[in-house]
Each structure stands twice: as C-alpha cells, then as structure tokens.
C-alpha cells in the first residue's frame, strides 16, 4: 500500500512537471511569434534582409510610420505578395528596435484613407479579374507611404506609388527608407555630355521653328525622361562639350561620342578626371556613317568607319588601349540576335522581310568580375545594338604596361569588370576592319567550331576571353603633362574612370521603342527561348547602366540588392480569417504540445519498463526464498 502511494505521488509530480514544461514552451513560442527570428535555408538568402537593409533599419533616427495601401480581395499571387511584404516589414521592424511600425490599409474601404493615399501619390490601376461567369476590371491600389518627422518637426514622406509581385520589394523599401531619412537636401546630380556626337545630340539640336519648344524645354524634357530611367534617384544635367560641368555635377556620363574632340575639349575632360570627379565613358573604335543620298521611301544605308574622336589617345595616356578589332562569339547560345533583310515574293508582288538570326558579332559578356561592385548578382551583361540590321560590332580593351605596373605597386585599383567568353575570338583590322558583315564572319565561326571539335587549325586567331569594360580608381597622371595653365593638375590619387568598349548599346536601352525585336510581328516569329534571352539581356543591361550611375556618385550600397532573385508566386487558395486564427493558435500551442506528448509517452514507456523489471526481480527474490 505504501509503494502504491509512492508511485501515485511520483506520477502526479511527473504530470505536474510535464504541465509546467508545456506551459513554458507555449509561452516561449508565443513570445517568439511576437518577435520572430527566421532561419533562411534558400540558396540565395531570398528571405533574409541584406546587410544594407539591416543597417538602414538599425540607423533610423526616429519613428517611421509605413502605411501599405492594399486593396482587398485581390488574386492569390497578390495575397502571396502581401504575406511576403508582411514578413519583410516584420524584419525591418525587428531590426529598427521598434522605431518602424507598419500597417495595411484598404483605401477603398474608407473615403478618408482613399483621400490620404491620393494626397501622397499612391496610384490606382486597373486589374482584370475573372470568375466562372464574367471577366471584369477592378480599380485597385498597391502602394506604400512612409512618413517621418525630422528633428525640426517637419514631416517628410516617401511614396512607392505602385508595388507589384514582379518588383524587387526589398530594394524599393530600403531605397525609400534611405531617401526618407537622408540628410541630403537634394538628389545627387549626374551629368551627361552632349555636343560630342553622342546619340542624344539629334534630340538636343532640334532646328528652331514656330512649333518647336525652346532649347531649354527640350533639354528639360530629355533630362526628365532620363531621370525616370534611373528610377528618379538622380537629377540629370545635360553638359555641353564646350562648357566644363558645374560644380554640383558629381559624375559624368559620356555616351557614344562620334565627333573629334578639339585640344581644348580634351584638356578640360582630362582636368575633370584629374579633379577626382568620376567619368564613365562608353566609346567604340568604329561608328556608323549615314550618307545623305538616301532616296525617299527607301531605308537609310549606313557604312561602318573608324571613329576618330581623340578618346583613344586620351585613354592611352591613362594606360587603357581601345583596340580596333571585332570580337566574334562562336557559341550561338551566347550570341545575340540581329535582323537579316532579304527579298520575298508573294504572287506578283515583291517585298522586303526581316528575319532574326543569331549574330556572332554580338557577344554576351559571361565572365564578370568577382570583386567589382558594379556587377553583383548579375549572371551576364549584353550590349544591345542600336540597329539590329546594320550592326556595329563589339570591340575590346587592353591594359598598357604603365597601368599594370601601377596596379602591381598598389597605386591604382584596376578591376576588369566584363570579359567575353572563352569561345570568343578576335578579328583585327587586317582580318575584318570596321565594315565586317555577318557573311564575312561566318567562315571564321565555322573554322572556330571545327577546331574546337578536334579538327585541324585552319585559322590562327587569338581566343578569348577579351576585356570589354574596366574601372580604374586611384593614381593617374594628366594626358597633358607639359601644360602650365593656372590651376593645372598634373596628377591625382583620386581618379575614377570607367570605360566600356562599346558606345552603341545605351541608345537601345534608353530608346527601346526603336528596337524591332520588341515589335509584335517579330516577337511572334521568335522561339520562346530566344524571346526570354532578349528580355533578359535588356533587363541586365538596364541594371548594369543603373549600377554605373551609382558608381559615379559613389553610392553603391543598393547595388547589392538591385538584382535579387524574386520568389515564385503561387496562386494559393483563399484562407479565411477563422482559418488564419486556427493555424496561428496551432503554431503557438500545437507544436509544443506535440513535443510534450512525445516526451510524456517516452516517460510512461520508461516507467512501465521499470515496473516490469521490478516485478521480475521481485519474482526471482520470492522464488529464491521458497527454495531456501
């Protein structure tokens, strides 16, 4: 009887301990849900805030309110986006130590909320929806408004007018937070050189007329369009070649010059580099000439020729050689598409048709620097041609001995940012010259492929990879060492120069409407894989050009998250509020209870096993006494 009481007391104590453990685990899990910490097991850390985002949240100087205007009853992939944004904002909130708070608001549910969303610039847009009986269009909003009272008490705000499932949510949110609390009074200013024969010149030099806007209005309109391309992060100033840029210009783009520089123009550009202001130069050794004898109604005929701008001499003074060559890609899978014109006959009528073809003269850059902040997370970069029918071929760069010596001595940082693939080859001016056509390079390509497959070497050309983009930061000497002008700078330790051996590609990015590959007729002709590549090349080119702009103003923090793989949105079934409550309760209490039940089962199993052992020993003991 005494043993039974002892067992009951032991069992009661065990049950009490189990109950206490369950209670502790439930409370701990509840508190963990209030301040969650997640483990991200995805290969690209898709659900982990990047260091720049963590730093932004931790350094918020005051309380930030984030209002997420999100219409109700949206399709499943928008609900998935809502959950992802909730997870992201919870991370920001956690790292901000409570200084950031957020909430979701349905602007259609309340007139005051709708008016506030409109006041801050949240946009409405039509969203098609479909059910079993009809197809309809709803006007919805999915935007974000951030507000913050600065130390003077004035309210600041930043608005993400529209956010969609396809957007890079972390990039948009972190950028908006940084701009919201920035101490800068204005946006950084980036200059773009005009008057040097670049592709912007025809738009700037509009002939005056009664219906023509003033030159100032034309330039302002161009600048506004360029600012939109650069995501409104910068103010764009068009800098004329005859006038050195204003002091507020923090960096200068030079996009595809085709006119020869005078000595004075070369000198002020040299002194701009010597002053330490960053310069990004996109230049080709060749250019297209468009003669003026074209017949009305006939397509313009262009002729490639040498591009004698004077930039080759300047670059050589800084240790960079611009090769007069043509880089040819022998692998069709990493060559871009051009358009071939041919005559077709339909019945009695004859016409011209354009057919997309893989073009070896348009290589894709697949060897990207592992150390450069200009290309993080980019798998490749392709320089899109401005004219897919009359292609200006890709050329390469070389690093001269003086620059290599300075790099080895640590006086300058040289980053070989972009190179072509190992399956690329180089045709010098003696092999092809500036007028190399698609038909001209085909024999070389066929010989390359035969040689790679083990055939005899019928050609003797240099094989890639070849350098096409380089950044130089550090010590450079002036290209005009003998000048004695007042204020002349003979050398600098703060030079920042970025060079791309292609002056043609930016035009396609900034004027996509001129690309025939984007026309509906041509897109219908393309295999899906080619269409995917065309869009990917355009997208990575846009990222790269925006990264260069960040490099110019020396603000590369956001580059690391501009390109991040987006999650795949699954159109999940609708979940009711009751279901959410049930799953939340199950998450808080259910999992601890399951583990405790398993522990209790193990405990009871051990108790039963112990009792069985005790019974066997008791039987043996009693049996032994009977024998005695």
pLDDT of residue 253: 96
pLDDT at 599 over 90: no
Residues 425, 329 share a domain: yes
What range does the domain containing 489 cover?
189-554
Do residues 303 and 288 touch, judged by C-beta distance below 8 A?
yes
DSSP structural state of residue 236: E
* CA–CA separation, 364 and 594 (whole Å): 55
Residues 193, 178 share a domain: no
Both tokens of 204, joined, read: 């700037």
Both tokens of 523, joined, read: 């897109």
What's the average model confidence in pLDDT over 193-219? 82
Residue whose C-alpha is closest to residue 308's, from 273, 282, 280, 284: 284
pLDDT of residue 567: 38
pLDDT of residue 460: 67
pLDDT of residue 398: 95
φ and ψ at residue 354, rounded to 5 degrees: -110, 130
pLDDT at 507 over 70: yes
* CA–CA separation, 194 and 239 (whole Å): 6
Residues 123, 204 share a domain: no
pLDDT at 571 over 50: no
Both tokens of 338, joined, read: 């051009």
Residues 79, 217 share a domain: no
Q: How would residue 301 be classed by pLDDT, with cut points 50, 70 and 90?
A: low
To which residue do tokens 């700078």 refer? 489
Residues 196, 175 share a domain: no
Domain tally for the chain?
3
To which residue do tokens 């020993």 refer? 617
Q: Please indicate, yes or no, if residue 617 is contained in any of the structural domains.
A: no
Q: How would residue 7 be classed by pLDDT, with cut points 50, 70 and 90?
A: low
Identity of the highest mean pLDDT range in 81-85, 412-416, 448-452: 412-416
Residues 264, 122 share a domain: no
Residues 74, 103 share a domain: yes
Residues 202, 121 share a domain: no
pLDDT of residue 39: 55
Residue 137 belongs to domain with CATH number = 3.40.30.10
Q: Please indicate, yes or no, if residue 39 is contained in any of the structural domains.
A: no
Rg (C-alpha) for the chain, rounded Å, is: 33
Residues 279, 248 share a domain: yes
Per-residue model confidence as pLDDT tens digits over 320-358: 999 998 898 888 788 888 777 666 666 666 655 667 788
What's the average model confidence in pLDDT over 55-65? 93
Residues 199, 101 share a domain: no
Angle formed by the axes of helices 591-627 and 2-34, nearest 10° = 160
Residues 496, 353 share a domain: yes
Phi-psi region of 524 (alpha: psi -120 to 50; beta: other; left: phi over 0): alpha
From residue 556, how far is each of 181, 233, 330 by CA, in Å? 18, 12, 35
Residues 435, 507 share a domain: yes
pLDDT at 586 over 80: no
pLDDT at 319 over 90: yes
According to the 3-state scheme, what is the secondary structure of 133-165?
CCEEEEEEEEEEEEEEECCCCCEEEEEECCCCC
pLDDT of residue 353: 65
Percentage above 90 pLDDT, the chain: 39
Q: Is 531 helix (H, G, I), strand (E, B) or coil?
A: helix
Both tokens of 242, joined, read: 């005859």
* CA–CA separation, 516 and 523 (whole Å): 9
pLDDT of residue 272: 94
Q: How would residue 385 be classed by pLDDT, with cut points 50, 70 and 90?
A: confident
Q: How would residue 64 be classed by pLDDT, with cut points 50, 70 and 90?
A: very high
Max CA distance (Å), the chain:
132
Of residues 343 and 535, more confidently modeled: 535
pLDDT of residue 467: 96
Do residues 117 and 93 touch, judged by C-beta distance below 8 A?
no
DSSP sequence for 241-253: TTSPPPTTEEEEE
Per-residue model confidence as pLDDT tens digits over 262-272: 999 999 999 99
Percentage above 70 pLDDT, the chain: 75
Per-residue model confidence as pLDDT tens digits over 114-147: 999 999 999 988 888 766 666 778 888 899 999 9
Q: Mean pLDDT in the chain?
A: 81
Of residues 49 and 209, more confidently modeled: 49
pLDDT at 376 over 90: no
pLDDT of residue 151: 84
According to the 3-state scheme, what is the secondary structure of 8-33?
HHHHHHHHHHHHHHHHHHHHHHHHHH
Q: Is 320 helix (H, G, I), strand (E, B) or coil?
A: strand
φ and ψ at residue 20, rounded to 5 degrees: -65, -40
Q: Please indicate, yes or no, if residue 562 is contained in any of the structural domains.
A: no
pLDDT of residue 476: 96
What's the average model confidence in pLDDT over 21-42? 58
Per-residue model confidence as pLDDT tens digits over 159-186: 999 998 888 899 999 999 999 998 888 8
3-state helix, strand, coil split of the chain in percent (to 5) is: 40, 25, 35
Q: How would residue 452 be classed by pLDDT, with cut points 50, 70 and 90?
A: low
């Amino acid at each position: 009887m005494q043993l039974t009481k002892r067992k009951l007391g032991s069992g009661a104590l065990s049950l009490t301990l189990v109950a206490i453990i369950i209670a502790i685990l439930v409370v701990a899990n509840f508190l963990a849900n209030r301040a969650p910490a997640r483990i991200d097991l995805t290969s690209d850390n898709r659900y982990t805030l990047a260091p720049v985002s963590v730093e932004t949240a931790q350094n918020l100087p005051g309380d930030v309110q984030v209002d997420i205007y999100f219409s109700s009853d949206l399709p499943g992939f928008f609900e998935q986006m809502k959950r992802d944004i909730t997870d992201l904002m919870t991370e920001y909130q956690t790292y901000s130590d409570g200084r950031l708070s957020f909430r979701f608001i349905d602007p259609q549910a309340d007139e005051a909320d709708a008016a506030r969303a409109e006041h801050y610039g949240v946009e409405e847009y039509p969203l098609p929806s479909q059910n079993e009986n009809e197809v309809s269009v709803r006007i919805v909003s999915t935007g974000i408004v951030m507000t913050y009272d600065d130390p003077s008490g004035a309210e600041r705000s930043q608005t993400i007018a529209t956010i969609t499932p396809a957007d890079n949510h972390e990039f948009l949110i972190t950028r908006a937070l940084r701009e919201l609390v920035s101490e800068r009074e204005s946006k950084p200013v980036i200059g773009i050189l005009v008057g040097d024969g670049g592709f912007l010149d025809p738009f700037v030099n509009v002939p005056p007329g009664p219906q023509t806007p003033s030159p100032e209005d034309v330039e302002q309109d161009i600048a506004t369009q360029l600012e939109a391309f650069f995501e409104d992060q910068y103010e764009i100033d068009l800098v004329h070649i005859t006038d050195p840029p204003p002091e507020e210009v923090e960096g200068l783009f030079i996009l595809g010059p085709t006119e020869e520089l005078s000595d004075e123009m070369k000198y002020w550009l040299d002194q701009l580099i010597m002053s330490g202001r960053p310069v990004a130069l996109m230049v080709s050794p060749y250019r297209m000439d468009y003669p003026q004898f074209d017949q009305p109604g006939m397509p313009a005929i262009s002729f490639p020729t040498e591009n004698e701008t004077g930039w080759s001499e300047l670059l050589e003074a800084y240790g960079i050689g611009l090769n007069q060559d043509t880089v040819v890609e022998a692998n069709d899978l990493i060559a871009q598409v051009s358009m071939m014109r041919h005559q077709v006959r339909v019945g009695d009528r004859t016409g011209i048709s354009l057919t997309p073809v893989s073009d070896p003269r348009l290589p894709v850059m697949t060897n990207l620097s592992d150390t450069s902040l200009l290309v993080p997370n980019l798998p490749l970069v392709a320089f899109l041609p401005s004219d897919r029918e009359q292609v200006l071929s890709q050329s390469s760069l070389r690093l001269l001995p003086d620059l290599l010596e300075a790099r080895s001595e640590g006086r300058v940082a040289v980053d070989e940012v972009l190179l072509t693939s190992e399956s690329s080859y180089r045709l010098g001016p003696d092999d092809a010259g500036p007028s190399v056509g698609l038909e001209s390079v085909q024999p070389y390509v066929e010989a390359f492929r035969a040689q790679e497959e083990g055939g005899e070497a019928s050609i003797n050309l240099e094989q890639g990879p070849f350098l096409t983009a380089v950044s130089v930061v550090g010590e450079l000497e002036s290209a005009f060492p003998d000048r004695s002008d007042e204020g002349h700078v003979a050398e600098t330790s703060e030079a920042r120069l970025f060079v791309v051996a292609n002056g043609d590609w930016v035009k396609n990015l900034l004027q996509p409407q001129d690309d025939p590959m984007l026309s509906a007729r041509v897109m219908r002709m393309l295999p899906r894989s080619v269409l995917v590549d065309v869009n990917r090349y355009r997208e990575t080119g846009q990222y790269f050009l925006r990264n260069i702009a960040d490099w110019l103003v020396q603000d590369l923090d956001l580059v690391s998250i501009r390109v991040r793989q987006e999650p795949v949105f699954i159109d999940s079934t609708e979940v009711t509020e009751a279901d959410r409550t049930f799953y939340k309760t199950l998450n808080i209490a259910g999992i601890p209870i399951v583990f405790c039940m398993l522990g209790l089962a193990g405990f009871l199993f051990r108790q039963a096993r112990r009792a069985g052992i005790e019974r066997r020993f008791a039987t043996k003991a009693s049996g032994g006494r009977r024998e005695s």
